[in-house]
Structure 1
Amino acid sequence: MWARALAGIGPGFLLSAGLVGLFTWMLPGPWQDTLVPGLIAFFVVWIGVMGASFQFSSGKRAWAWLGGLAAVTLGALWLLQWLQWLG
């Protein structure tokens, strides 16, 4: 149980940041206009990810899935920045 909870806190935090970052990047307008709604959405998404981490059958699976998805989302943000598609 503790491993799943920590997976929701650690990699879940990074996954939530990546998801909200990708979503706010797609919104029209400058990034300053999406800052406050993005911060509010981040906490909602993070709570959802923390709750979903308890649906995994083991802590190892939670860490693997959440860590892998966090790496994918943050990697996508890095790639978009490297391609200079992000401001």
Structure 2
Amino acid sequence: MWGRASAALVPGFFLAAGLMGLACWALPGPWQSTLVPGLVAFFPLWICVAGAAFAFASGTRAWAWLGGLALACLGGLWLLQQWGWVQ
């Protein structure tokens, strides 16, 4: 249980941040206009990801899946920035 709870806190936080970052960059207009709605929507998204962490059979699986998805989201944001698609 502690493994899943720690996976909900650490990689779950970064997964929610990455998903929210991708959503904010995908919306039209400057990113500054999506800052407040993104911050408001971040906490419920993080709670959903944390709840999903307890659906895994073990803490190791939760860490692997949530950590991998978080790396994919943050890596996608980094690639978008490197390609110049977002600033």
Offset, 1:29: 0.8
State, as a whole percentage, how many aligned pairs show the same letter.
66
1-side partners of 2:50 and 2:23: how far apart?
19
The residue identity in structure 1 corresponding to 2:46 is W
Q: Which runs of 5+ in 2 are unaligned?
A: none
State the AA in 2 paired with 1:52: A
| 2:67 paired residue number | 67
Equivalent pairs, count = 87
Aligned to 1:49: 49
Q: Which residue of 2 is the match for residue 77 of structure 1?
A: 77
Letter in 2 for 1:4: R
Aligned-residue CA RMSD (Å): 0.5
For 2:16 and 2:4, locate their aligned partners in 1 and report how far apart those are by CA, in whole Å. Answer: 16
Specify the alignment match of 1:2 in structure 2. Answer: 2
TM-score (norm 2): 0.98
For residues 30-79 of structure 1, what are the alpha-carbon distances to aligned partners after superposition, in whole Å with 9 as ceiling and x for unaligned? 11110000001111110000011000000000000000000000000000
- Structure 1 residue runs of 5 or longer lacking an equivalent are none
